[in-house]
Structure 1
Amino acid sequence: MPSPSFAHLTDRALIRLSGPDTHHFLQNLVTADLKTIDRTGAGSAALLTPQGKILFDFLIYKAGDAYLLDAPATAAQDLIKRLALYRLRAKVDLEPLAGETGVFAIWDGTAETPGAMLTVADPRLPALGLRSVGPVSMSTELAARQADIAAYDAHRISLGVPEGLKDYDYSDIFPHDADLDQLNGVSFSKGCFVGQEVVSRVQHRSTARKRFIPVESSSALAEKGTSVTAAGKSVGTLGSSAPVDGGTIGLALLRLDKVAQAKENGSPLQCGDAELQARLPDWAEFNWPEPTTAD
C-alpha cells in the first residue's frame, strides 16, 4: 500500500489569538461555534460582511489557551487588521506566527507528525485528510510522500471543496454559495455573528440557488472567473481547476436550476472552448432542483 502524501502549504499563514476574552470575541464574530471547536480541536469558519458575504474564510485550531487561524497567506494581514477593528476593548492579542511554523496537509492515509504543535482531521470533510501545524523542518521528518500545493489542490478540487481566493473573491459570494453550510463552516444554533441574519434567512427559506460543484472536461479549462454557459446563456463561473488523467477537473459556481434545465434540454455546459460535465459532490445534502427557466 502506498504511503500517504503530504504538502507544506506555503500559501497559508497562521494567526494566533490569545487572551481572556478570545473565546467570547470569536464566538460573536465568526460563523463557527467556538464551543464545538473547544471540544473537537478544529473548525471551519468565515468572517462575513454585515450583508452576509464572505469577507475571509479560514480554519480555526484550539491550541492550549489560544486559537490559531489558518488563512490564505495573501489575506492574513488584512484579516488581522479587520479583527483588530472589532477588538475594541476586548482583552485579545493578535499576532502572526513566525515563518518557521508551517501548515501541512496529509491525505490518502495518516502519518506520524514528529514535533507538531497539533494534528487534526480537516474539519470541513474527513476525506480531505489531516491538517498539521508545526516547524517547517517537519518536511524532512514526515513518514509520507512529499507533494506540492498543486497536488493538494487537485485532491481538494476532486472532492468538491472550494476555498476563498482560489475559487472566489472575497466580498463577492454568500456562505451557501461556497457550501460552508455543508462543510461544517456555519453554525445555525449558536446565536448571533456578523451577517448571521442574512445567512439564517437563506437557510430557513431554502433559497440557496447557486453552489460550487465539481466539473470535468477532456480539455484544459480557462482561468478562474470565466463564464460557464448553456445554450449561450450564463449559468455560472469557473473557479480553480487542475489537470488529471488526461483531462481537467474543476469547481464552478453554478445556478443549479439552470444547469438542471440545460441537462433536461440536452444543452451542454461550455466554458470557453471546453465542454463541461457537472456533478454533485458525494457529501452534498442538496439535490438538483426542478428545472426552471426563471432568472
Structure 2
Amino acid sequence: MANSCLLWPRERLGFVLSPSYLKPMTGTTLTDRALLRISGEEARPFLQGLLTRDVLTLQSDHPRWTGLLTPQGKALFDFILWGDGDDVLIDCEAAQADALAKRLTLYRLRRKVTIAREAALAVHWSLEVADKPHDPRLPALGHRWLAPASPDAGAEAAAAFRAHRLSLGIFEGVEELGQDQILWLETNAQELGGVDYDKGCYVGQENTARMHYRNKVSRRLVAVPLDQADDKRQRAALRDLGLSIELRRVEGLDPALLPDWLAAAIAGEAAV
C-alpha cells in the first residue's frame, strides 16, 4: 500500500530532518518490529502479573503500550500488546525479540504458556489509513495495525515512523530508554498510557505506584537539539536527526523544548 504522507519538522524541538525522511513511503511495514505470540490457557494471567498494563481486558482493536520492568521499577523492555482471542501478540523491537522472549521464559516457570515468534504477521503504520487503530500512546502518532508484510516492504516506513515519533518527543526501545537505567514513569509512560494503577501487582509496581501517588517524578526523558546537549544527562545521541535524548530534572526544563502533551502534563503536576 502506498503512502504519500510527508513528515514535517517541529521547530519548537529544534528538529532538523534529513531529506531522506521527507520522501513518500512505498509501503507501510515497520521492518524493525517483530511479533511474539503468547498462547496457552494461562497466557493472559501470566502477562497480567508481569506488565504495567491490564492484559485481561485487552482487545484486538485497542492495542496497549506497556513495559516489562525491574523490581525497582526501571524499564527493561517496552512494547505494544494486541489481543488475538485468548492469545496476546507482543509488538516489539525486532533486535530485542529474542532477548524479550528469553526474559519472559525465565518468568514462565511451570505455567501453561507458549512463547513463540509470529511470522505470519507484521506491524504496519500510516498517517493516512484512518480505518485502523491509532497508536495507543498518542493519536498524533498515526495508525498502527497487524497484517501480512507488504510485498514491497522496505525500510522507508520504519525510518519515517521513527522520525515522526521523535518529532513528537516520544521514545521507545533499548537505544532510547536503556535497560535497567530509567524509571518507567521517567520515560513519560503515564502521560502516554503506559501504566494502569488499578490492575493489581506486577513487577516493579510498588515503586511505580509510590512515585505516582506521591507525585515524585522529578526527572523526565526529553529530546533536545544536539547543539544544546548536556553530556552528563545524555542517554542517546541521534546524529542523523540532530537530537540528543536526555534525562533532565523537571525544574530545569525549558518549556520551549517540550512537546505540547508533555508540557501540559508537567504544568498540571506543578499545580497540584
User: Aligned in 2, Cα 1:89/1:46: closer, same or farther, shift over 3 Å?
Assistant: same
State whether residues 30 and 46 of structure 1, in contact with CA within 8 Å, keep that contact through their aligned partners in structure 2.
yes
Aligned with residue 228 of structure 1, among 221, 227, 230: 230
Corresponding pairs, count: 246
1:164 matched to which residue of 2?
173
User: Aligned in 2, Cα 1:36/1:182: closer, same or farther, shift over 3 Å?
Assistant: farther
Aligned with residue 187 of structure 1, among 189, 196, 203: 196
Indicate yes or no: 2:236 matched with 1:239. Answer: yes
Shift of 1:22: 1.1
Aligned with residue 254 of structure 1, among 245, 248, 251: 248
Indicate yes or no: 2:63 matched with 1:42. Answer: yes
Aligned with residue 86 of structure 1, among 94, 100, 107: 107
TM score, norm. by length of structure 1? 0.74
User: Aligned in 2, Cα 1:26/1:155: closer, same or farther, shift over 3 Å?
Assistant: same
Indicate yes or no: 2:134 matched with 1:121. Answer: yes
Amino acid at match of 2:129: T
1 or 2, which has the higher strand percentage? 1
1:52 matched to which residue of 2?
73
Separation (CA, whole Å) in 2 of partners of 1:241 and 1:41: 31
Amino acid at match of 1:85: L
Indicate yes or no: 2:183 matched with 1:174. Answer: yes
Structure 2 residues without counterparts, runs of 5 or longer: 6-24
State the SS of the aligned residue for 1:24.
Answer: helix
Separation (CA, whole Å) in 1 of partners of 2:134 and 2:42: 26
State whether residues 38 and 88 of structure 2, in contact with CA within 8 Å, keep that contact through their aligned partners in structure 1.
yes
TM score, norm. by length of structure 2? 0.80
Q: Considering only CA atoms, is the larger Rg found in Structure 1 or Structure 2? A: 1
Structure 1 residues without counterparts, runs of 5 or longer: 113-118, 141-145, 222-226, 264-277, 291-295
1:286 matched to which residue of 2?
266
Give the share of equivalent positions with the same residue, in percent: 37
1 or 2, which has the higher helix percentage? 2
Amino acid at match of 1:237: Q
Separation (CA, whole Å) in 2 of partners of 1:127 and 1:241: 22
Shift of 1:190: 0.8
State whether residues 42 and 123 of structure 1, in contact with CA within 8 Å, keep that contact through their aligned partners in structure 2.
yes
1:273 matched to which residue of 2?
none
